[in-house]
Amino acid sequence: MEFSSKLLENAVYEISQLPGIGKRTALRLALHLLKQPEEQTSHLTSALEKLRSQIKFCSNCHNISDVALCEICANPKRDASTICVVEDIRDVMAIENTGQFRGMYHVLGGKISPMECVGPQDLTIGSLVGKVKQGGVTELIFALSSTMEGDTTNFYIFKQLEGTAVKTSTIARGIAVGDELEYADEITLGRSILNRIPFENSMKA
């Protein structure tokens, strides 16, 4: 792509670094911004800058939050004895939308994936295991996507908790194998939490 402007070329390059955005789309977006009032671009860049510099992670569940303890963890009506283990904030949002879960979450920040060089130490597994060993948690519900990485992660955590009294369960698979949680419809996802099954049973299947 030949550019008559270095400024435009740089902007297109940066925009095209985002996932799913090729050079052509990046060019279209950059030209769109040039046609809009200047403050629209200022709002965009300021929102992105603030997102990066001010975002916090909840000290208890590691979910993205604007404050030290997220709204869910700070809510005394939530049941702290049941923890739903998820990959990221999208899963928390999907499960919250079902309105079927009154426990707490633990956001791992990803799944164990040797292919992508993600090991247990790159996730918040240590903090989860610590939380359970401190006591007060009676059940962990694994709600990771049903992929090889999701299964590996569940099993790793399950092994780490051997010898503790915590009950482990996994969401029932109304969700097809390989599906990502965020794409499941609310009714299916809500039902799969209510109909969760003991984790040991899920391994035999």
- Return the half-sphere exposure (C-beta side, CA atoms, 13 A cut-off) of residue 11: 18
CB of 145: closest distance to Zn ion in angstroms? 21
Angle among Cα 53, 94, 80 to the nearest 5 degrees reads: 80
The site string for Zn ion over 11-50 (x = CB under 5 A, - otherwise) reads ----------------------------------------
Q: Where are the beta strands (DSSP E) in the chain?
A: 56-57, 64-65, 79-86, 103-107, 139-142, 167-170, 197-198
> Do 145 and 182 touch, CB atoms closer than 8 A?
no
- Residue holding tokens 């299964």? 151
CB of 148: closest distance to Zn ion in angstroms? 28
DSSP H or E run through 172: none
CB of 155: closest distance to Zn ion in angstroms? 25
| Residue 117 φ/ψ region, left for φ over 0, alpha for ψ in the -120 to 50 degree band, beta for the rest | left
Which residue, 109 or 174, has its beta carbon nearer to Zn ion? Answer: 109
Site for Zn ion in 47-66 (CB under 5 A): 58, 60-61, 63
Which residue, 27 or 143, has its beta carbon nearer to Zn ion? Answer: 143
CB of 61: closest distance to Zn ion in angstroms? 3
Angle among Cα 110, 112, 114 to the nearest 5 degrees reads: 125
Looking at the DSSP bridge assignments, the partners of residue 37 are none
CB of 122: closest distance to Zn ion in angstroms? 20
Helix (H, G, I), strand (E, B) or coil at 134: helix
The site string for Zn ion over 62-91 (x = CB under 5 A, - otherwise) reads -x------x--x------------------
Question: Could you please report the per-residue DSSP string of 156-185?
Answer: HHHHHTTTS--EEEE--TTSPTT--GGGS-
Which residue, 58 or 137, has its beta carbon nearer to Zn ion? Answer: 58
Residue 166 contacts Zn ion per CB under 5 A: no
Binding-site size, Zn ion (CB under 5 A) = 6
CB of 14: closest distance to Zn ion in angstroms? 32
Which residue, 60 or 124, has its beta carbon nearer to Zn ion? Answer: 60
Binding site for Zn ion (CB under 5 A): 58, 60-61, 63, 70, 73
